[in-house]
Homo-oligomer: A and B are copies of this chain.
């Protein structure tokens, strides 16, 4: 064993220099990062909300290759402060009203830390039973909080799974729907399937059904039926309908019950995308949004949007898990094991695209337990109340108009075209109205005091004000409104027009 011993000693030296998971070093450095982040939250309001750096800024200030020798955490954290933070858009800032919120929380953070610390790869039950079991349990807990019909819960043959994003959840359900349909019609008819792209379906076979303002931009059942009948007439096979509870542009809520009835008639898979609004349905007063969901095949929401769970955490429930597993199962020899073969256990790898998977359930479990259902409902309600408050502020300033009725914690508004047309006749052109509102948003965002984004519906540019960052409170909403008014004043009064 002579030569083996020589390696041994050399390697001992390496290990003594760098032990990548030395518990005491982990403890020492872990505390430093906790303090760094706590200080960041303390001072978060001092940064411009939307990063003001120019593209390519970082390349100019960092070395062009990795260092050969170790650098200390203190040095790295100084660089984070000097080089990285200015390049961040601060999604956790109380003055972040853009897109939809990415609502972090202490409990969500702690759950992630536990998950990252354990660092298990929960592809199947045996690889870490607690990961699979806790996930099934919290998905049933959450399903009950949402008052989802029993058919989506494990006890009644359905079930839930945590995925990364809605995109993944949609892809999985489309693939499930596709394979279910291909078992009915033959594979030669693949080209006739009408749905979405990554799953191989012809982009030309994807139908976007227009919505109108009179219906608050919801999907109209009549239009759906017409589109289906048209496709059938042309020999196509309508496959998959995505109904949305809380659309991105305007948080519109599609009439689920009516849409599901039509889809059922034609054997179409219905997925309910409640990425943003789903979380609100833990409050009984919002559960009306889900009326009819018992006729859908699948339902998803993003807990990382408005449920205090950090990115990523998409909750997907299905009525028939076998539709998913029939389409997505893999059985590589290296993962074969007695438990899977003997028992009817859940191997979550068969519920998603990827084999490897994070232990995301810990995050949701910590959020649910640390805050409790009552407080979670009240937090959601407080955001909705702040949005009501903001809506009230807008209503008092006649230069602005609310564009669609507010449903939850997002308000869509713009400078009124009537007001603008009194300023100049050029605003009789809708494009000019849109341009004015575009410039207003750019002006507001470049001051760094708040960040908001826009949508375009039916050709109209609208300003979106989405409340839900965990640190946001009334005073932030009031200041934001003042800033918006100031920028509008400047543009309306100081010759901008």
Contacts and interface: CB of A to CB of B under 8 A. Distances in A.
A92 B21 contact: yes
A388 B7 contact: yes
B31 A34 contact: yes
Contacts of A343: 55
A8 interface: yes
A473 B386 contact: no
B23 A333 contact: no
B130 A102 contact: no
A119 B92 contact: yes
A140 B356 CA distance: 25
The complex is assembled from copies of this chain, and their number is 2
A164 B11 contact: no
Interface in A30-51: 30-31, 33-42, 50-51
Interface string A122-159: 00011111110110111011101100000000000000
Nearest to A118: B88
Among A53, A106, A312, max chain B CB count under 10 A is at A106
Contact of A84 (B20, B56, B130, B345): B130
Interface string A335-378: 00011000101000000011111100010001011111111001
A7 B136 CA distance: 37
A249 B335 CA distance: 11
Nearest to A457: B333
A110 interface: yes
A14 B382 CA distance: 8
A140 B58 CA distance: 13
Contact of A8 (B19, B131, B372, B474): B474
A66 interface: yes
A242 interface: no
A65 interface: yes
Contacts of A7: 385, 388-389
A405 interface: no
Contact of A371 (B18, B89, B99, B362): B18
Contacts of A128: 51, 87-89, 91
A27 B389 CA distance: 32
Contacts of A141: 64-66
B356 A353 contact: no
A30 B31 CA distance: 8
A372 B20 contact: no
Given A20-B379, A375-B14, A126 B89 contact: yes
Contact of A119 (B76, B85, B102, B382): B102
A249 B334 contact: yes
A315 to B, nearest CB: 13
Contacts of A26: 34, 37-38, 41, 106, 109
B15 A382 contact: yes
Contacts of A358: 311-312
Contacts of A71: 369-370, 372
A439 to B, nearest CB: 11
B58 A110 contact: no
Given A119-B310, A200-B200, A333-B456, A55 B129 contact: yes
Interface stretch (A186-194, A213-221, A230-238): A186-194
A288 interface: no
Interface string A155-195: 00000000011111001000100100000000110110000
Nearest to A85: B130
A99 B116 contact: no
A332 B130 CA distance: 38
A319 interface: no
B110 A29 contact: yes
Given A84-B134, A107-B20, A121-B99, A129 B372 contact: no
Given A71-B369, A105-B21, A116-B109, A134 B58 contact: yes
A67 B372 contact: yes
Contacts of A209: none
A23 B51 contact: no
B116 A112 contact: yes
Contact of A354 (B73, B138, B168, B339): B168
A428 interface: no
Nearest to A39: B23
Given A164-B354, A334-B464, 14 more contacts: A11-B386, A20-B371, A26-B109, A27-B35, A30-B34, A31-B34, A34-B113, A58-B129, A58-B133, A68-B373, A70-B369, A76-B366, A87-B133, A91-B118
